[in-house]
Amino acid sequence: MLRPRLLFLLALLQVFHATAISGSSCRCLYGDPCWPSQSKFDKLSAQVSQPLLFPTPAAQACYTSPDSAECTEAVAQWGNGNWRANHTGAMQSPNFETFTFSNGTIEGCYLNTTLGLPCGRGSVSVIAVDARSVSDVQAAVNFAAVYNLRLAIKNTGHDYLGRSDGRGSFMLWTHNMKNITVHPSFTPAGAPTNESYEYAITLEAGVQWHEAYSAANDAGRVLVGGASGGGSVGAAGGWIQGGGHSALSASFGLGVDNVLEISVVTSNGSYLVTNAYQHPDLFWALRGGGGGTYAVATSVTYRTRPSFPVIGAFLSASINTSSLTPNAALSAAFTELVRITPQLTDQGWGGYSMFKPSNSSVSFVIRYVVPDSSPESAAQANATMSAYLTHVQELAANATQAGDSTVVQSAYTASFASWWDWYVPLFSTGESVGFNVELGSWLLPRDVVESDHEHVAETLVNIPAISWYLVCGGAASNVSADAAGINPAWRKAVVHVVGATTWSDGATLEEINAAREILKSDTAKMRALAPESGAYYNEASPYEPNPAQAFFGSHYNKLRAIKAVYDPINLFVVTEGVGSDEWDDSLTCRK
């Protein structure tokens, strides 16, 4: 116990020393005189289980060795989330690998080498600890604290705010912490012996959802978790610390409602097991108060449920259009979906629907699921959804008769023996990353949707690439707003609405900013529907006018106070995170 405390004191001395020399409290970046010497990194290397890593941009091989197997692999796997997660220098969205200088110049390393631009490091971290154990994490955290380094914590790089890297930073890479433990009976540390949970599952920091789901399914259990192509999102890091929405949230609550215990390493190197009985304040903050802010999560223990049959709902419709917005038939289909959303979430329906513009067409896709837990409730849920899908088909048929080009490729419900059987065909493969993207989102309360669904639909349907996610409401609303650190807006929300903007590699800052202005405008329209609500921190705009309120709501001050207790040296600072407003835009120097 003495060693972490000693290193913590050394870290404080280092911060005070840097302040005395520079006159300001700034992080030490690569290239600065304060950057640790090679001998100091050698000492760190001797303390950890793996050689230190030197992250490089994912496309670098195509510049240094264009005919190499590494370049061929990069081209083939560029949109594969699991490949990108395995690459220390890759973010899931490559725009977050770039860096923009004050003169507007953008440094990056684009896969498209024909642009004639050099391959630069951009925001990719300089050196990394490949953590495989708690002691590795402690060594990395202590090193960053002692030398006052800008610390980036990364598992997969699934991050729409760019919190997993940073120009000139030192990275803690948790991706290879892959242990999974299924407990036939689990009692949280410090809990009464009669409090136990059957088949809880403990996931180390690097476990991804495809690995977690497979392990749970092998045990005949189901987890409340996230969905992405290939299941590449991390299951025990930023997802849960941001709140964690799921297609099962309407039935079983959000991710934060299904956590039993979180183990962490704090900025003084201490290893803590947090739950309702030990460090409950930190446990509260870690459940929705934002990743990379309070401590480094080394493992998370979730409750599970016995496997159950489900009903899936599927819709695929499209129109040919040059406006990138739906026509009257699809607009009417979306309006009806908005109207029945509160009923759907009450029945336990969850999942994902979106309008996706592509070239000269717009598609409308639904992928929903509901537990088939009892014959009566399942029949009611199936009847509601089947009636809606029939309505969409009728709208399309009428549009076709009127000379429109609306086409419904599929619209049906189907029974599955298990949630796993629904999930695998939809999400076990797929490429949904590897392109430049920024998001804007908003949580719409139930009363707003119920009181004026037509206005909600009319506002949103004219936003290209709008997504309507049924990942809240239902059981997620039947939890006290103060039960966890997550934004209280989640407890009133019935739907999570997401918009996006994209741009091509090599775009100028002026072109990118033009795309951002559209996103800002679209997000403002969402926000105006329910100004007192909030946004999902993990899928949100980096341009929220009041990020503290949007992402954390009335919990912000309590979260800031908890951070002060467990991270008094402010080692953990991320974009728009709690306490980040006390730093400059680069998160390098205190204001």
Q: Quick: pLDDT tens for 151-207.
A: 999 999 999 999 999 999 999 999 999 999 999 999 999 999 999 999 999 999 999
- Strand arrangement of the beta sheet that strand 170-173 belongs to: 127-130, 170-173, 151-154
Q: Which of 289, 306, 323 is the last residue of a domain?
A: 306
Residue 59 and residue 73 share a domain: yes
Q: What is the pLDDT of residue 344?
A: 97
Q: Supply the CATH number for residue 49's domain.
A: 3.30.43.10
250 touches 350 (CB < 8 A): yes
Cβ partners under 8 Å of residue 428, min gap 6: 210, 230, 231
Q: Are residues 294 and 322 in the same domain?
A: no
Q: Is residue 5 very low, low, confident or very high in pLDDT (cuts 50, 70, 90)?
A: low
User: What is the pLDDT at residue 340?
Assistant: 98
Tens digits of per-residue pLDDT, 346-397? 999 999 999 887 777 788 999 999 999 888 888 999 999 999 999 999 988 8
Number of domains observed in the structure of the chain:
3
Q: Are 28 and 149 in contact (CB under 8 A)?
A: yes
Nearest to 343 by CA among 507, 510, 470, 175: 470
Q: Return the beta strands (E) in 174-257 as ranges.
A: 180-186, 197-204, 221-222
Do 269 and 328 fall within a single domain? no
264/278 Cα distance (integer angstroms): 12
Of the candidates 386, 387, 362, 382, which has an alpha carbon nearest to the alpha carbon of residue 372?
382
- Same domain, residue pair 153 and 190: no
In this predicted model, what pLDDT tens digit does every residue of 292-323 receive, in sequence order?
999 999 999 999 999 999 999 999 998 876 66
Q: Is the model's pLDDT at 18 over the cut of 50?
A: no
pLDDT at 6 over 70: no
Quote the domain boundaries for residue 500.
310-546
More confident site: 428 or 291: 291
Provide the percentage of residues in the chain whose pLDDT is more than 70: 94
* Same-domain check for residues 168 and 187: no
The pair of structure tokens assigned to 140 is: 């990395």
Task: Read off the pLDDT of residues 457-485 as tens digits, 9 standing for 90 and up.
Answer: 999 998 988 999 999 999 999 999 999 99
196, two tokens: 């136990």
Question: Are 111 and 188 members of one domain?
Answer: no
Residues pairing with 182 in the sheet:
201
Task: Identify the residue with better confidence: 71 or 1.
Answer: 71
Q: How, if at all, do strands 221-222 and 305-306 pair?
A: antiparallel
User: Which of 176, 211, 241 is the endpoint of a domain?
Assistant: 176
Bridge-partner residues for 443, per DSSP?
A: 496
Write down the pLDDT at residue 24.
Answer: 47
Helix (H, G, I), strand (E, B) or coil at 341: helix
CATH number for the domain that contains residue 392? 3.40.462.20
In a domain, 585, yes or no: no
For residues 219 and 201, what is the distance between their CA atoms, to the nearest angstrom?
10
Instruction: Say if 90 falls within a structural domain.
Output: yes
The reply to whether 104 falls in a domain is yes
Q: How confident is the model at residue 279 (pLDDT cuts 50, 70, 90)?
A: very high
pLDDT at 327: 79
Assess whether 99 and 114 both reside in one domain.
yes
Whether residue 263 lies inside any domain: the answer is yes
Same domain, 500 and 392: yes
Query: Considering the entire predicted model, what is its pTM?
Result: 0.94
Position 14 scores a pLDDT of 47
Average pLDDT over residues 46-72: 97
Tell whether 436 is covered by a domain.
Answer: yes
Check: CB of residue 32 under 8 Å from CB of residue 295: no
pLDDT of 303 reads 98
> How far is C-alpha 438 from the chain's CA centre?
12
| 271-274 β-sheet, strand order | 180-186, 197-204, 296-302, 259-265, 271-274
Give the CATH number of the domain where residue 186 resides.
Answer: 3.30.465.10
**294 and 321: one domain?**
no
Residue 531 belongs to some domain of the structure? yes
| 531 and 394 within one domain | yes
Domain final residue, candidates 176, 201, 231: 176
536 and 460 in a common domain:
yes
* Residue 557 belongs to a domain: no
Residue 513 lies in a domain: yes
Mean pLDDT for all residues in the chain: 93
- Kindly state the helix (H) or strand (E) to which residue 61 belongs, with its residue range: helix 61-64
Tell me the average pLDDT across 121-144. 98
Whether 431 and 495 share a structural domain: yes
User: Mean pLDDT over residues 479-508, rounded?
Assistant: 97
